C-alpha cells in the first residue's frame, strides 16, 4: 500500500536518496526544502511514481513548520512517515570564535536540527494519531556519541535528537507510532566533497576498517527499513551506520 512520506531536507544528498528509496517502494513523497525550491522541484520530478509534492519551510520558524507539515498531509492525502533529515552544520570551535559567533552558531543549529525536528514531529504526530499510526525516523549522527569538538552545537543537537526520539517512542507507542534514529558518520555526498579531497579525504575514509564512507543510498535503505511495519519493535532504537569507525556499547 502506498504511504504518504514527508522527508525534510530532501532537495539534495541524503534526503534526496531517502526520497528516492521511498518513491521506488511505491510511496508518495513530500520533498521539503529550506531554501532551494528549484533543487527540490528537480528531485520531486525525478522520483518514480506519482503523487509527489514539494513543500518549503524554514525549520527554525515554528509557524512555518506547522504550515509545511499540514500542507504535506493535505497534498499527500495523509501522513504515514516523517523523516527528520534536515540539518545545518556550522564550525564554531570554542577557542577560535567570538562570543557573538558562538551564540549565533548555537541558536541556528539547535533551532533547526533539534527544535525544528521536534516541532515537525509534534505536527506529524497529530495526523498519525488521527489515522491510527505511522513512523518517525530521525537522522542523527555519530557525533552525538563521540563528540564534535569543532562544532559542539551540532553534536549536542544530534544527541538531543536521539533523546527526543526515545522519549517520543515511549509517548507515541500506544498510538501505533514507532520512532527510531539513524546515526551515520560522514556520508559520501556532494556536500561533503570538500572534506573528502586529497589526503584529508583519505584520512576520513581510513577511519573505517572498510576503508570507505557510507553512501546516501545505504542510509536511505536503513531509513526505509526502520519506517516499515517489519521494524515496529525497533521503536526507540538507534542504528549506527558508520562502518565501525566509532563503536559504543
Cα 162 → chain centroid: 11
Distance, in Å, from the CA atom of 133 to the CA atom of 51, rounded to the nearest integer, reads: 21
Distance, in Å, from the CA atom of 33 to the CA atom of 136, rounded to the nearest integer, reads: 18
Per DSSP, the residues of 145-165 read HH--TT-HHHHHHHHHHHHHH
Instruction: Considering the candidates 154, 175, 225, 246, report the single residue annotated as catalytic.
Output: 154
Catalytic residue status for 246: no
Retrieve residue 187's grid coordinates: 556520508
CB of 175 closer than 8 Å to CB of 232? no
**Which residues are bridge partners to 139 per DSSP?**
182
CA atoms within a 13 Å half-sphere pointing along the CA-CB vector of 196:
15
CB of 219 closer than 8 Å to CB of 241? yes
CB of 218 closer than 8 Å to CB of 160? no
Distance, in Å, from the CA atom of 144 to the CA atom of 149, rounded to the nearest integer, reads: 11
Catalytic residues: 154
Amino acid at each position: 500500500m502506498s504511504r504518504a512520506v514527508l522527508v525534510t531536507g530532501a532537495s539534495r544528498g541524503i534526503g534526496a536518496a531517502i526520497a528516492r528509496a521511498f518513491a521506488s517502494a511505491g510511496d508518495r513523497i513530500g520533498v521539503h526544502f529550506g531554501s532551494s525550491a528549484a533543487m527540490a522541484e528537480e528531485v520531486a520530478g525525478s522520483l518514480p511514481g506519482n503523487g509527489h509534492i514539494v513543500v518549503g519551510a524554514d525549520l527554525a520558524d515554528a509557524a512555518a513548520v506547522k504550515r509545511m507539515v499540514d500542507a504535506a498531509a493535505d497534498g499527500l492525502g495523509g501522513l504515514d512517515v516523517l523523516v527528520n533529515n534536515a540539518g545545518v552544520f556550522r564550525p564554531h570551535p570554542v577557542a577560535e570564535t567570538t562570543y557573538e559567533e558562538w551564540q549565533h552558531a548555537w541558536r541556528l543549529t539547535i533551532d533547526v536540527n533539534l527544535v525544528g525536528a521536534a516541532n515537525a514531529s509534534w505536527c506529524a504526530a497529530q495526523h498519525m494519531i488521527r489515522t491510527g499510526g505511522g513512523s518517525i525516523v530521525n537522522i542523527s549522527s555519530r557525533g552525538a556519541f563521540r563528540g564534535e569538538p569543532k562544532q559542539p552545537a551540532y553534536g549536542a543537537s544530534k544527541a538531543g535528537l536521539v533523546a527526543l526520539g526515545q522519549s517520543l517512542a515511549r509517548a507515541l507507542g500506544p498510538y501505533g507510532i514507532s520512532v527510531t534514529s539513524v546515526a551515520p558518520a560522514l556520508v559520501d555526498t556532494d556536500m561533503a566533497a570538500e572534506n573528502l579531497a586529497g589526503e584529508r579525504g583519505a584520512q576520513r575514509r581510513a577511519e573505517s576498517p572498510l576503508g570507505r564512507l557510507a553512501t546516501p543510498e545505504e542510509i536511505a535503505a536503513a531509513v526505509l527499513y526502520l519506517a516499515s511495519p517489519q521494524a515496529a519493535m525497533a521503536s526507540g532504537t538507534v542504528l549506527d551506520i558508520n562502518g565501525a569507525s566509532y563503536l559504543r556499547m
